Amino acid sequence: MKYPAQPLDTEAIDKTVSRYAIGAYRLYKETDSSIQLAYWGRSDTSLRRRLKEHARKGTYTHFTTEIAETIFEAFRRECRDYHLRIPDIDNQMHPSPPRNLPYSCLYCVAMPNAHRYLSRVVS
């Protein structure tokens, strides 16, 4: 489930993200007229805890989440965001697979040039 952008603070995180939720997230920075996507990631253990870590740093102002049913689904969603190749984002490294699990990025395996294809489709 994807939530609309919320302020990246403890109160909003506690209201919208279950204590045991895992999944992917996107972080945004506020500009003069809007909020812009600036970072994406995932948590395989506690999405709430990971978002609070980001909130404490104060770099980003808003967040959205995509709750996942499985660790593989969370990893797949983070890989999808990477392969979309969103320009001017703070992190551009390919997501690491979950620890101690034999997962591979479906986009890399099925379509080695997925980032080129997806960037044309999204643009």
> What pLDDT tens digit does each residue of the chain (123 aa) get?
455 799 999 999 999 999 999 999 999 998 888 889 999 999 999 999 999 999 999 999 999 999 999 999 999 999 988 878 777 788 878 889 998 888 988 878 776 665 555 555 544
pLDDT in tens, 44-61: 999 999 999 999 999 999
Which stretches of the chain are DSSP H helices? 10-16, 47-57, 71-83, 106-110, 114-122
The whole-angstrom separation of Cα 115 and Cα 108 is 9
Q: Within 10 A of 17 (CB to CB), how many other CB atoms are there? A: 24
Q: Please tell me the predicted confidence (pLDDT) of residue 81.
A: 86
Q: Is 29 helix (H, G, I), strand (E, B) or coil?
A: strand
User: Can you give the pTM of this predicted structure?
Assistant: 0.82
Largest CA distance in the chain: 44
Distance (Å, rounded) from C-alpha 102 to C-alpha 60? 32
List strands edge to edge, sheet with 22-30.
6-7, 62-68, 22-30, 35-43
Domain residue ranges of the chain, discontinuous segments joined by +: 6-122
Query: Which residue, among 86, 78, 66, 87, has the nearest Cα to 106 in the 3D structure?
Result: 78
pLDDT recorded at residue 123: 43
Residue 73 is encoded by which pair of tokens? 């689904």
Residue type, 101: L
